[in-house]
Amino acid sequence: MAPSEALDVLVALGSSTVRQAVTSLLEEMTVADVTETKTFDEAAVQVRKAAKPFKLILCDRLGERGHLALLKLVRWDQSVLPTTLPVICIDGNWTSDELIAARDAGATTILTLPITLHLLQTTMSKALSDHQAFVSTPGFRGVERRAARIHGYHGPFRREVDSASDPLERRDASPPPADPRFEWSMALATGDDEIDIQHRRIFEILNELKNVTGGEDCEQGAVRNALSGLKDYVRVHFAHEERVMRTFDYDDRDAHRREHADFAARVAKLDAANFTSRKMRQTLLMFIQDWLTGHIAGTDRIMVAKMQGDYDGTMGGDRYAAQTALVVGEAYATAQLIQRMSLQLVTIDDRAARTLLFHDISGATDRLINLMALADTRIQVHGCNRFQLRRLGDIRSAITSNADSLAEAAAREMIDYGTAILGGQQGMPLGVGAILKNRLARIDSLVLVVGINAMTDECKTLVAKAAETAIAVFALEGRAAVELNELKTASKRASGRGVSQGRGNT
């Protein structure tokens, strides 16, 4: 699709902020005609009337499940527009269950905010191409994503010999994450309700321990009680998980139990005296939360996936599938690293250490964005299994839950970069204006994910300062460009005079 190609697009976005942002991107692409709607009912009228020959639909949740109803209307309940009409779903925080439901309902592509002009244009071009086969069976209509049957995969299915349940009858999304200072998030959900509830409780106890050890003079009795509560509940939780392990053929049972025993032994050695020093307190709390997030996100999630029959590490040994698994796994590990670093911010008071950690978060985020783009491309071409699809949803949830920290890190990085240029510590880089515009767009996208009202005051201040710094660099770049042009003009004049004088002397 060329940017100037005439195209009628139905934009059905309930969020006014997202609708304005997407419409603005479409205008930059010079899309011929955009029809905007805010609700499912308004979108349904446009689809049924088909007053315009829509070639594409962009929608968000339109409430809670309006996007599923719109997909059902387009794919099954109307005869005016083609049932193969591409539908791109866009929203800020898809859970794994919502991703599965949207795909089962026939979504052509699913995007997670923030998005860029390039990503939107690329996605639209792909959606409008004929490279993806459209599958129509008694239970499913939508693009085909699987290159071959996946070993151990039990549905939902796409092909005519298979069956699929009504996408609107899928179970509701997982409950929203808790919001303690040490945050349990959807990135740590295992898929087993009882295990997840117990994990939430461990994070609550960890916060209680942090609270009673937070002052200059910790009350030793309160510290002992909180620490005893953590030790007791960890034992109860590990015993529960080990009972679960015995209920199915779990090949990693012994290794999993060794992880439990090692952590329990290390926690058992702790006493109230270990928390008298602020530095020691930070070290211990960071160790506990780091071990928990790594163990839950890795070992526990894989155990539950194997118990539920969703885990297939090799996807049948297919080379392309194995490569996709590596990319998704690396993206997942990077998301967990960001999650752990964000949690560490809770325990760090030193400004220099926080600045360094924000820098590390920013670098890891750049890597994650690249990995997610690669993963999405590979999955669209080669497909993926249910376990990987769930992991991608968890990664997106982690990104959204950490968006405030990411926006703060990006703003700090831009301020440092721009200040170095303005202060003469480094020269004016070629194309610095384009670089800063991209960084500002990234910050704006993160702000869109968080929501301006939900941002911390410190983050708002840093974002505003980053914008001011960028404007100052733009002005400096403009002056440099004028000076360069004047220098070139003077050089040409001097060169012309030299040539004339040389001719006069011959």
What are the residue boundaries of the structural domains of the chain, listed by start? 8-169, 186-403, 410-495
CATH superfamily, with its number, for domain 8-169 = Response regulator (3.40.50.2300)
Please name the CATH architecture into which domain 186-403 falls.
Up-down Bundle (1.20)
* Stretch among 71-75, 433-437, 477-481 having the lowest mean pLDDT: 477-481
pLDDT tens-digit readout, 241-286: 999 999 998 988 999 999 999 999 999 888 888 877 777 777 788 7
The pTM score is 0.39
What pLDDT was estimated at residue 151?
A: 43
- Whether omega before 156 lies within 30 degrees of 0, making that bond cis, reads yes
Element (H, E) at 10: strand 8-12
- Does residue 112 or residue 464 have the better pLDDT? 464
Q: Which two tokens stand for residue 505?
A: 């002397």
**Over 90: is that where the pLDDT of 239 sits?**
yes
Cβ atoms of 297 and 324 within 8 Å: the answer is no
End-to-end CA distance of the chain: 61
When pLDDT is averaged across residues 214-218 and rounded to a whole number, the result is: 62
User: Does the pLDDT value for residue 41 go beyond 60?
Assistant: yes
Instruction: For 163-196, write each residue's pLDDT tens digit.
Output: 434 333 333 333 333 333 566 766 677 878 899 8
Answer yes or no: are the C-beta atoms of 348 and 357 closer than 8 Å. yes
Note whether 8-169 and 186-403 share their fold. no
Partners of residue 498 on adjacent β-strands: none
